Amino acid sequence: MASRFTRLTTSIPKFARGYAAPASVKAPITLFGLDGRYATALYTAAARQNTLEAVEKDLKALNLAVEKDATLRAFLENPTVNRAVKMEGINAVLGKSPSQITQNFFETLAENGRLNQTTKVIASFEELMSAHRNELPLVVTSAKALDKATLNKIVESLQKSTLSEGKKLLVSNKVKPDILGGIMVEIGDKSIDLTVSAKLAKLNKLITDSI
């Protein structure tokens, strides 16, 4: 099976079909764009071999290295760098024991000249893994950091609402002083703006329209 998978091809669907698997295996959500298609192919191949967590671990390690090293990011995104040289760089970061699927996937990216999509593909793969775990991102933006009790109350309220869709909320508190006060809630692809700055903007519009 692995020998079929390692044949470098410019066709993403062929990549995902590199391993025999039940037809029922599919991505939990539909992603669009080039990065979405590559991430979906990787997710499908890893799911078929029960190596999702191993591949995720590899990608997190690579992403961390790219985030810490601007030179590495520039190296991957530079179209003038030879693909083979880029692959050597990827191998150096992945180390000696990446998942075979991870290794083959990046060889495919290199062959297709798509290593410049690395960080986008990783981000898309994380979206798929989050959906796989039935998680939903919740970002609460406030003028100053919220205490744990306040944040918990917001989370509990949303968890009981239809907005959470019964999913596990991945909570983060973003601090943005220029909202002046109140909060902005972003849950999945939905948002609720209860900030003072938004209310002032509406008030200013009403005043302007009435003049």
Tokens of 170: 């991945």
Query: Would you call 189 exposed, middle or buried from its count of C-beta atoms within 10 A (0-12, 13-18, 19+)?
Result: exposed
- What total number of domains does the chain contain? 2
- Do 146 and 163 have their domain in common? yes
- What pLDDT shows up at residue 23? 54
- Do 27 and 111 have their domain in common? yes
Amino acid at 8: L
pLDDT in tens, the chain (211 residues): 333 333 333 445 455 555 444 556 788 889 999 999 999 999 999 999 999 999 999 999 899 988 888 888 888 888 888 888 888 888 888 776 678 899 899 989 888 888 889 999 999 999 999 989 988 888 999 999 999 999 999 888 888 888 877 788 889 999 999 988 889 999 888 888 989 888 878 777 777 777 6
Q: Starting from the edge strand earliest in sequence, which strands make up the sheet with 168-175, in order?
A: 168-175, 135-142, 182-187, 190-195
CATH of the domain at 93: 1.10.520.20
- Which of these three, 73, 100, 131, is where a domain ends? 131
End-to-end Cα, the chain, rounded Å: 73
Global pTM reads 0.68
- Which of these three, 82, 113, 131, is where a domain ends? 131
Q: Within a 10 A sphere around the Cβ of 160, how many other Cβ atoms?
A: 9
